[in-house]
């Protein structure tokens, strides 16, 4: 993930497009996403602007389901809503049979508002407040993925006070290194997530004496942007042996939630095929007679979204440094490059620019931070002010991580599908940035 580890040259614009069939460079209209010219979206809705491809999203949802069907599995599919929480996204995926994995009370409420039934919502997260646990209990979610012994005891207290029974899955920390970026690894012993592998049996024993709990199974999620089968295989093998262990101690284990984490090719990575992921799950749990669940986020949503931006200015730099391209999109819109050193394809929208000779550029946003860099030494054609660019694979951990830093309103969100477009979330009003703020009356005195 870290830009410093790339040793191959950046893919060129043609290679980027060849790997993304729902993006097409038209000789007249320029870059089109699902048949809609990006220039038309910019003209109608301004920039910066998130564009979500509904057809791309549906296609990926179906491919993922088919990968599991081919492996002889039919897991419950819970979309990790934190990767893209747009209502249009949730409704699209719900129509494809996906529920949600929520990590806060806010996400549970958002899933409900999008029409997702409580029994299709799973609640994960390392710090669930009493109010959030109460909400989950009131609604009767599919299961609550508990992350500590303390949380389990607190859940028992809340559930019995409400006269309810919680369906509990324990999130195991399998102590497996997912070999991904440090900031998106979650399954090592010293990561904050999950319950240590060795503590699980005693906790199942303890739960027998705790009221308000129905112990249902185990969950594991070792990190994100994983493109090798081996870390999944290691983690799932540990969970499978734990299931056998628990059953030998007389505990019923009905559910294994395999988490998410499947990676994509942002640059020239060889992405793990979802069929290979499904195969590791079939191999580990196929003969265990458990109900399987998965929680994919990025794999579904990342390639279905892009961030459309406009060049504000270019800036010549001293000899030896690449010239700058200053966009109207910045780290407050797409935080991933500054947060994780992540690489996103950047493609000019206008037809001539797609075939022009390229030289290295540094692509930055206007935010007053040195880390507001979207790409370094990126081969791009000479772009003039007002030129449009598409920042690719921005559908996961993109708009959801936006802030209003530098008093920059949240960008508009548009969906496209088979030649149609609609704005589904208008650009935030500037006044909304300070709405509700007051100063105490005693300031005047
Ligand atoms: C973030 C998260 C996911 C989704 O991860 P992706 O890498 O986007 O697939 C799944 N489960 C849990 C518990 C998570 O926190």
One pLDDT digit (tens) per residue for the chain, 445 residues: 444 568 899 999 999 999 999 999 999 999 999 999 999 999 999 999 999 999 999 999 999 999 999 999 999 999 999 999 999 999 999 999 999 999 999 999 999 999 999 999 999 999 999 999 999 999 999 999 999 999 999 999 999 999 999 999 999 999 887 777 777 777 777 878 899 999 999 999 999 999 999 999 999 999 999 999 999 999 999 999 999 999 999 999 999 999 999 999 999 999 999 999 999 999 999 999 999 999 999 999 999 999 999 999 999 999 989 999 999 999 999 999 999 999 999 999 998 777 789 999 999 999 999 999 999 999 999 999 999 999 999 999 999 999 999 999 999 999 999 999 999 999 999 999 999 999 999 998 7
Q: Which two tokens stand for residue 249?
A: 């101690």
Phi-psi region of 406 (alpha: psi -120 to 50; beta: other; left: phi over 0): left
Binding-site residues for substrate: 298, 336, 340, 369, 397
Q: Measured in angstroms, how far is the CA atom of residue 146 from the centroid of ligand 1?
A: 15
> So what's the pLDDT on residue 287?
94
Pocket of ligand 1 contains residue 295 by CB under 6 Å: yes
Strand partners, 417: 420
pLDDT at residue 5, rounded to an integer: 67
CB 171 near ligand 1, within 6 Å: no
Alpha-carbon distance of 33 to 40, in angstroms, equals 11
Domains and CATH numbers, the chain: 3-53+302-433 (2.40.37.10), 124-296 (3.20.20.10)
Residues identified as active-site: 368
Place of tokens 């909400």: 135
Q: Is 184 left (phi over 0), alpha (psi -120 to 50) or beta?
A: alpha
Question: What pLDDT is recorded for position 3?
Answer: 45
Atom of ligand 1 nearest to the CA of 301: 8
For ligand 1, the distance from its centroid to the CA atom of residue 219, given in whole angstroms, is: 12
**How far is the CA of 420 from the CAs of 5, 40, 94, 193, 300, in angstroms?**
40, 11, 21, 42, 21
pLDDT score recorded for residue 331: 98
Q: Which residue has the tokens 């994780």?
A: 340
Q: Report the DSSP beta bridge partners of residue 172.
A: 195
At 282 the pLDDT is 98
Q: What is the pLDDT of residue 7?
A: 86
Query: Residue 396: what are its φ and ψ, rounded to 5°?
Result: -120, 135
- In sequence order, the β-bridge partners of residue 336 are none
Q: How far apart are the first and last CA of the chain?
A: 55
Taking CA atoms, 441 is separated from 386, 409, 431, 433, in Å, by: 45, 28, 22, 21
Q: Verify whether ligand 1 is closer than 6 Å to residue 224 (CB atom).
A: yes
User: Distance, CA 109 to ligand 1 centroid (Å)?
Assistant: 18
Residue 259 Cβ inside 6 Å of ligand 1? The answer reads yes
Q: What is the separation of C-alpha 242 from the centre of its chain, rounded to a whole number of angstroms?
A: 28
Q: 2: helix, coil or strand?
A: coil
Question: Is 53:33 a contact under the CB 8 Å cutoff?
Answer: yes
| CA–CA dist 51, 116 (Å, integer) | 23
> What 3-state class would DSSP assign to 340?
helix
């Amino acid at each position: 993930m870290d830009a410093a580890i790339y040793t191959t040259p950046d893919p060129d614009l043609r290679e980027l497009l060849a790997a993304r069939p729902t993006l097409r460079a038209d000789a007249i209209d320029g870059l089109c996403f699902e048949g809609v010219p990006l220039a038309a979206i910019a003209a109608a809705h301004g920039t910066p602007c998130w564009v979500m491809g509904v057809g791309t999203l549906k296609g990926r949802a179906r491919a993922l389901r088919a990968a599991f069907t081919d492996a002889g599995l039919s897991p419950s599919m819970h979309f990790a809503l934190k990767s893209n929480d747009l209502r249009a996204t949730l409704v699209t995926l719900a129509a494809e049979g996906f529920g949600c994995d929520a990590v806060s009370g806010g996400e549970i409420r958002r899933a409900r508002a999008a029409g997702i039934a409580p029994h299709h919502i799973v609640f994960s997260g390392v710090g669930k407040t009493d109010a959030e646990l109460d909400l989950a209990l009131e609604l009767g979610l599919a299961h609550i993925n508990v992350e500590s012994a303390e949380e389990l005891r607190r859940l028992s207290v809340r559930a019995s006070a409400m006269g309810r029974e919680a369906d509990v899955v324990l999130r195991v920390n399998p102590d497996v290194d997912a070999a991904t970026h440090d900031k998106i690894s979650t399954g090592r012993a010293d990561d904050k997530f999950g319950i240590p592998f060795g503590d699980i049996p005693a906790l199942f024993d303890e739960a027998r004496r705790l009221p308000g709990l129905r112990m249902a199974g185990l969950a594991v999620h070792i990190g994100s942007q994983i493109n090798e089968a081996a870390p999944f295989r290691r983690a799932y093998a540990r969970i499978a042996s734990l299931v056998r262990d628990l059953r030998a101690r007389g505990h019923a284990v009905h559910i294994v939630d395999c988490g998410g984490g499947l990676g994509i090719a942002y640059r020239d990575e060889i992405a793990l095929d979802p069929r290979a992921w499904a195969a590791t799950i079939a191999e580990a749990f196929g003969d265990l007679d458990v109900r399987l669940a998965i929680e994919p986020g990025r794999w579904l949503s990342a390639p279905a979204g892009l961030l459309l931006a406009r060049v504000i200015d270019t800036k010549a730099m001293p000899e030896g440094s690449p010239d700058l391209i200053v966009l109207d999109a910045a780290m407050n819109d797409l935080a991933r490059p500054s947060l994780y050193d992540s690489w996103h394809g950047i493609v000019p929208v206008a037809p001539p620019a797609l075939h022009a000779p390229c030289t290295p550029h540094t692509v930055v946003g206007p935010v007053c931070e040195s880390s507001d860099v979207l790409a370094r030494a990126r081969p791009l054609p000479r772009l003039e002010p007002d030129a449009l660019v598409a920042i690719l694979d921005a559908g996961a951990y993109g708009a959801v991580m936006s802030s209003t830093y530098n008093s920059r309103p949240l960008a508009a969100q548009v969906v496209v599908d088979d030649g149609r477009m609609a704005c589904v979330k208008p650009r935030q009003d500037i006044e909304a940035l300070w709405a509700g703020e007051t100063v105490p009356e005693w300031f005047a005195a």
